[in-house]
Amino acid sequence: MIAERLIDWQLKHGRHDLPWQRTRDPYRVWLSEVMLQQTQVATVVPYYLRFVARFPDVRALAAAGLDEVLALWSGLGYYTRARNLHRCAAEVVGRHGGAFPGDAALLARLPGIGRSTAAAIAVFAFGRREAILDGNVRRVLCRHAGVSGYPGAAAIEKRLWDFAQAALPARGIEAYTQGLMDLGATVCLRARPACGACPLAGDCVALRDGTTAQLPAPRPRRSVPLRHCAMLVVRRGDEVLLERRPPAGVWGGLWSLPEAALADPGADPAPAAELARRFGLRVTPPRPLPAFDHAFTHFRLRVQPFVCELEAAAGAAQSSAALWLPLGETGQAALPQPVRALLRALPSRPARAGAGAAQERAASRVASARCRTSTCSMRRKRRASSSTQ
C-alpha cells in the first residue's frame, strides 16, 4: 500500500504554504482547483490572489459581469474555464443557496467540474474519501504500477481509476491526496524524475524496469493544422474598434479585433470592404503589419494585422457586440493576450503617415515576439499539464 508512505512524506516534505491551503472554504478550494487545471502552480498563484481579492466569495463572483471575470482571467488561457467558473458561481447561488454541495457526484454536475476536480473539492473542503486522477496522479500511478499505453485512452483511464480508488486510505485523506499532487509536481516529474527522493521508489515498477522515461505513454502524435486570418486595427484617435467574439469557440466571449478569414496566405481579405459591410465605416487604405503566429491546443493561427484610421461612419459601430476602446484601457479589458500585446505596442496617438507606419510595424513586431513567448509558454504548459497540481 502506498498511502502510509505518501502521508508520511507529505507531512515532512510536501507543500504547505500555497494560498489555497489551510482552508476548508469550498469556494476557495473550488477556485484553485479550476485554475490549476492544465496550469502550473506558479502561474496560478497571482491570478488566484487577484480573484479572491476582487471576488471574496461565490456570491460576489456570481454577481459580477462576465467581462470583468474574463478580464481578470486574461493571460491564464483555456478561457472556457473562466466562462464555466462564472456559470458555476451563478448556479451555486441560484440552485444551492450559495453553498457548494459536499457530495462529489453533485459537484461533478456543476459547470466546469469534472470527476477528478469534484473529488478534490470533496476531499479538501469536506474531508470526503474520494479518489482523484489529475495529470500528476496519472503519472505517479502509471510509473508505480508499470501501466503502459496512453492514459487518456478509455481502457487505460479505467485501470488508473481502479488503482486510485483501491489505494485510498481509511484516514488522512487530505494529506494523502495532497501528497499525490505534490509527488507528481515536485518529484515524479515528466523529465528527470528525482527517484532517489521518492517514498514509492522501493516498489516502483518503472524504476525497477528502467522505463520511467517511457511512462506514462505520450498522446499519439497528430498533425497541427495552420489557419489564417486578418485582424483589422481600426483607430479613431486614441481609440480602437473591438467586437465581442461568440460565446463558444476560440477566445469565446472576449473582446477582440474584427477579423476577416483568409483561405490561404496569399488571399486578399479586402479589409476596407469588410469594415464597410459589417460596421458601416469608411477608413483610410489599410496598411499591412508583419504577420505573427499564435498556438492553440489543436491548431496554429497565423494572423495578418492591418491598420487604418477611421474617416467616416455611416452608422454607429458602438453596440452590445462592438465598442471603441481607449488604448490606455487595454490592461483592464477582457482581451486575448496576443491582441493585448499588439494594442499595447501601438503608438498612443495617430502619427504622421511615415512615422506612424514605422511605429505600427514596430508594434506588430513586438506583438509577434510576445506571441512567440506566449506560444512557448503554452507549449510548456501543455508539456507540464501532467505536472500540475
Q: Which residues are catalytic?
A: 33
* CB distance 111 to 94 below 8 Å: no
Q: Residues with Cβ < 8 Å from 148, sequence gap 6 or more? A: 214, 215, 217
Residue with cell 512557448: 376
Contacts of residues 262-265 at CB distance under 8 Å and 24 or more positions apart, as own/partner, are: 262/228, 262/229, 262/230, 262/304, 263/228, 264/228, 265/228, 265/302, 265/304
| Residue 231 burial by Cβ neighbours in a 10 Å radius (0-12, 13-18, 19+) | buried
Transcribe 105-135 into DSSP letters.
HHHTTSTT--HHHHHHHHHHHH--------H
Longest dimension (CA), the chain: 75
List the grid coordinates of 369.
515576439
* CB distance 39 to 77 below 8 Å: yes
